[in-house]
Amino acid sequence: MGLLDKFKTGMQKTRNFVADGFNRIAANMGVFDEDMLDDLEGLLIQADVGVNAAMAVMDTVREQIRKTGDASRETVLKTLEQGLIDLLGEQKALQLDQGQLSVLLLVGVNGTGKTTTAGKLCARLQNEGHKVVLGAADTFRAAAIDQLKAWGERTSTQVIAHQPGSDPAAVVFDTIQSARSRKADVVILDTAGRLHNKKNLMDELAKIRRVVSREAPGSRCETLLVIDATTGQNAVMQAKAFKEVAEITGLVITKLDGNAKGGVAIAVAQETNLPIYLAGLGEKIDDLEDFDSQVFVRSLLPEA
């Protein structure tokens, strides 16, 4: 399945809502009038694209109509498509360094999909020929450690874990040492769910970062904030808040398959200016894809 089909299938609920909604609005007449443009703006807001983003993109559409006098379905659709792609900002793929250890640290609030993403990402990188070591730096619960170990078994990957309740930074230390001695090139660190306003938990994250810098100097360390798309505008608030207190380098947006609110990816990107690297499109091992702005937007909109 190509990437567009993968997104169309995964984002079926949001696609049905947005694409069908667009067609319903456009079906009244061949051209868009002011009421229809308002309806379109409302549709985008309901799909959680965000009020600011929806207003911005509809301003662009209105401006285009004013300049050209062309309010046809085709032109509105095309302008909307490009406007939404632009709102997603510069697109960046998750990069790994050649011949050097790369560290991927997964952070975020409870239940957003950090551990699942660690497992899926591990499977994908192993398939691409990388050698990965997983670190169970969520030491909060025994179940969290077991969950990562299960992914380790599924993907034939070494998992470094300590006892529940132990210091996550010590797990990170051991994971990097182990990756070194096994000549692995990627370390994926799963961490406990945490709120941005819990100082001790954010300090713990900073300590993990310090251990990475010290034990893997010069290594790329991506701190990926994992955001759950089904939490709507809350996801936007989380992303903004985490960005304030931690050095987040990029986003992973999960559960885009979960409901019709997948438009939130646009709101998050627009409000944080952070790149979205990866998209979770389901619970299965291969339901993790590179986030591609063009593909994402095309998967939401009807055919021209």
Ligand X SMILES: Nc1nc2c(ncn2[C@@H]2O[C@H](COP(=O)(O)OP(=O)(O)OP(=O)(O)O)[C@@H](O)[C@H]2O)c(=O)[nH]1
35 makes contact, choosing from ligand X, Mg ion, none, with CB < 5 to 8 Å by partner type, with none
Amino acid present at 191: T
Interacting residue with ligand X among 135, 152, 168, 258 (CB under 6 A) = 258
3-state secondary structure the chain: CCHHHHHHHHCHHHHHHHHHHHHHHHHCCCECCHHHHHHHHHHHHHCCCCHHHHHHHHHHHHHHHHHHCCCEHHHHHHHHHHHHHHHCCCCCCCCCCCCCCEEEEEECCCCCCHHHHHHHHHHHHHHCCCCEEEEEECCCCHHHHHHHHHHHHHCCCEEECCCCCCCHHHHHHHHHHHHHHCCCCEEEEEECCCCCCCHHHHHHHHHHHHHHHHHCCCCEEEEEEEEEHHHCHHHHHHHHHHHHHCCCCEEEEECCCCCCCCCHHHHHHHHHCCCEEEEECCCCCCCEEECCHHHHHHHHCCCC
Strand partners, 105: 189, 223
Q: Would you count residue 89 as binding ligand X (CB under 6 A)?
A: no
Query: What is the Cα–Cα distance from 219 to 165, expressed in whole angstroms?
Result: 28
Q: Would you count residue 280 as binding ligand X (CB under 6 A)?
A: yes
Amino acid present at 88: L
Q: Would you count residue 116 as binding ligand X (CB under 6 A)?
A: yes
Kindly state the smallest distance separating residue 194's Cβ from ligand X, in Å.
8
Kindly state the smallest distance separating residue 295's Cβ from ligand X, in Å.
16
For residues 178-197, which are near ligand X according to CB under 6 A? Answer: 193
Interacting residue with ligand X among 3, 78, 86, 111 (CB under 6 A) = 111
Nearer to ligand X, 254 or 299 (CB): 254
Q: Would you count residue 257 as binding ligand X (CB under 6 A)?
A: yes
283 makes contact, choosing from ligand X, Mg ion, none, with CB < 5 to 8 Å by partner type, with ligand X
Kindly state the smallest distance separating residue 136's Cβ from Mg ion, in Å.
9
**Torsion angle, CA of 171/172/174/179, rounded to 10 degrees?**
140
- Among 281, 284, 285, which residue's Cα sits nearest to residue 258? 281
Nearer to ligand X, 192 or 297 (CB): 192
Q: Would you count residue 115 as binding Mg ion (CB under 5 A)?
A: yes
Nearer to ligand X, 59 or 146 (CB): 146
For residues 130-189, which are near ligand X according to CB under 6 A? Answer: 138, 144
Interacting residue with ligand X among 64, 79, 115, 272 (CB under 6 A) = 115
Amino acid present at 131: K
110 makes contact, choosing from ligand X, Mg ion, none, with CB < 5 to 8 Å by partner type, with ligand X
Q: Near Mg ion by CB under 5 A, which window of 106-114, 167-175, 278-286, 295-303?
A: 106-114
258 makes contact, choosing from Mg ion, ligand X, none, with CB < 5 to 8 Å by partner type, with ligand X
Kindly state the smallest distance separating residue 203's Cβ from ligand X, in Å.
18
Interacting residue with ligand X among 64, 102, 112, 272 (CB under 6 A) = 112
Kindly state the smallest distance separating residue 168's Cβ from ligand X, in Å.
12
Nearer to ligand X, 59 or 286 (CB): 286
CB 96, CB 186: distance < 8 Å = yes
- Residues at the contact surface with Mg ion, assessed by CB under 5 A: 114-115
What is the contact surface with ligand X in residues (CB under 6 A)? 108, 110-116, 138, 144, 193, 254-255, 257-258, 280-283, 287
